[in-house]
Amino acid sequence: MSKDIRNIAIIAHVDHGKTTLVDNLFKQSGTVRDNQRVEERAMDSGDLEKERGITILAKCTSVMWGNTRVNIVDTPGHADFGGEVERILSMVDGVVLLVDAAEGPMPQTKFVTMKALALGLKPIVVVNKVDKPDGNPDAATDAVFDLFVNLDANDEQLDFPVMYASGRDGWCDNDLDGPRENLHPLFEKIIEHVPAPKVVTEGNKEKPFSMLISLLDRDNFVGRILTGRVETGRVKVGDPIHALSRDSKVIETGRISKLLAFRGLERVPVEEAEAGDIVAIAGLTTATVADTIAVPEVTEALHAIPVDPPTLAMTFMVNDSPLAGREGKHVTSRVIRDRLMREAEGNVAIEVTESESKDAFEVAGRGELQLGVLIETMRREGFELAISRPRVLFKQDENCKRLEPYETVQIDVDEEYQGAVVEKMSLRKAELTGMVPSGGGKVRLTFDAPARGLIGYHGEFLTDTRGTGIMARAYDRYDAYKGPIRARQRGVLIATAGGKAVQYALFYLQERGTIMINHGVEVYEGMIIGEHSRDNDLDVNVQKAKQLTNMRASGKDDAIKMSTPKILPLEEALAYINDDELVEVTPESIRLRKRFLLPHERKKASRAAE
């Protein structure tokens, strides 16, 4: 282990280039050989991360620069995964804040930066993508300063160094007109500006070993792997340890079976670690995030940063449709429960509660994307589920008034579409709080909106702006309930019987609305096959075939020309449904259905609701 250590986190909004920057830090520090084959965005190792191009899980890595080991934590930029950020900030002593030269700090940058500044971490601001044609580095720097002032940064934090970079091209300089050769100035600034871990400078190496768990992982061979920064003392493989809960109660005892340090893209076994090192430990079976690992003589748990509560919930149910069990291998409530409890154990931003019937589970999280990623992960593992519409979690204040979560929404849109956006947002009870031109014929609109009204809006927003608008959201606060908001303006087309959908029937149903399935797809009674053009639901027959007779037709038959069906991906399907509908998720299919499949049951339920 190196004696000279720097622990930093790289934080930025989605698509501002932090994972690409880490790629080039690997290459220029010598961590990766010149001829070594490394994928782009090497830190985004999960399948979903590669497909979506976003960081979902916080990950640790380290590089050597001279005699200093720089431990780097790559953090998610999306606010839905803020729980990942909150728990790892306790491991670092400084942050590199990456800001796009054209877009400046976005709402989700504000969310993570607020957490970092509250912990007293000193930031280094890197204005990235300065070579973009619409880049304005000076305006981006001014916006960062204003953001820090609004977040009550202290004088030391406001005196932040500013650097200019192009992470994709692999250079960073102290001046905008610098030589633009490499990332060496960034390494030097990190070593100069970020302090060595306090646990090292305060002489904690001689105290008994203790460590706060920040990340949880599993390995098929060694079991649970717990990652964190060693706060005090030294630890070796084979040392006896115990785990303490946040209220200092002993959870379990054991021995360290494996001690792993981060070296580039790999975890490497080591024999010893000391205060200031970020390491992963194996040997315990029940300890989890925010618990303390320590030698038996330590009886007080380390302070864990409180994590913001979830704001959104969905109900995960056993799939009970007529097509249940055909495509998935995990279909029972017991295996679904075990999988959800395992997820809640490692992800502090997710809470799982069981229903009285034991076949449905309330899963609460930060947003639609976070819960959508969980559902997609389970789907790929072979699970079959039925999912309810997302709903916000309400609270009550001391006067028993109802409170709901609010979000700050920042929208960059062409001027010609701003009227449509403002109109739709006002229908969803959002208030326009700012409107400034952002160059190139675009306008930046800022809204204060109840999170409830934003569920399902993103797809509509992209349609209204012809795919050119950019929307960023971040949780802000709980405030007064704004009254009812109508979710969907139109009804749905519902299949009246089971069987395969016939093209002839779908062709004539196109006049009634938008079709959401392909012909030849198997349907069942109560399944949603399209969107009605009016505000009421309509039962339709999708098995109606052309009458075959031996009579000659006068003239030619009508040519059947089907328009492309509107197939909804998972997140859009979850946001589209109403409270009386479900999304059926299997490894091969995503289907929309009514909660009650039979018409008379739906009528009975609607009368009961009235």
> Is 15 annotated as a binding-site member?
yes
> Is 17 annotated as a binding-site member?
yes
- 573, 583 contact by CB (below 8 A): yes
> Is 303 annotated as a binding-site member?
no
3-state class percentages of the chain: helix first, strand second, coil last, to nearest 5: 25, 30, 40
> Is 110 annotated as a binding-site member?
no
Q: What distance in Å separates the CA atoms of residue 454 and residue 394, rounded to the nearest whole number?
A: 15
Q: What distance in Å separates the CA atoms of residue 208 and residue 231, rounded to the nearest whole number?
A: 10
> Is 73 annotated as a binding-site member?
no
Strand, coil or helix: 469: coil
Q: What distance in Å separates the CA atoms of residue 181 and residue 200, rounded to the nearest whole number?
A: 34
Residue spans of alpha helices (H) in 36-99: 47-52, 82-88
- 30, 64 contact by CB (below 8 A): yes
User: CA angle 380-383-386, nearest 5°?
Assistant: 115
**Residue 332: how many other CB atoms lie within 10 Å:** 12
> Is 128 annotated as a binding-site member?
yes
Buried b (16+ CB within 10 A) or exposed e, 456-487: bbbbbbeebbeeebbbbbbbbebeebbeeeeb
> Is 433 annotated as a binding-site member?
no
For 381, half-sphere exposure in the C-beta direction (CA atoms, 13 angstrom radius) is 14
Backbone angles phi, psi at 82, to 5 degrees: -65, -25
Tokens read off for 153: 């940064």
439 bridge partner residues: 442
| Residue found by looking up tokens 């509509």 in the block | 460
User: CA angle 426-431-435, nearest 5°?
Assistant: 105
Q: Residue type for 571, please?
A: E
- 99, 105 contact by CB (below 8 A): yes
- 102, 135 contact by CB (below 8 A): yes
Sheet arrangement for strand 292-294: 250-255, 240-244, 292-294, 210-219, 223-232, 278-282, 258-263, 266-269
> Is 126 annotated as a binding-site member?
no
> Is 16 annotated as a binding-site member?
yes
Closest CA to 576 of 420, 388, 410, 405: 388
* Long-range residue pairs from 170-174, CB within 8 A, at least 24 positions apart, any chain: 170/24, 170/27, 170/28, 172/126
> Is 330 annotated as a binding-site member?
no
With a CB cutoff of 8 Å and minimum separation 6, the contacts of 188 are none
Q: What distance in Å separates the CA atoms of residue 217 and residue 346, rounded to the nearest whole number?
A: 7
Give binding residues as ranges: 15-20, 128-131
Give binding residues for GTP as ranges: 15-20, 128-131
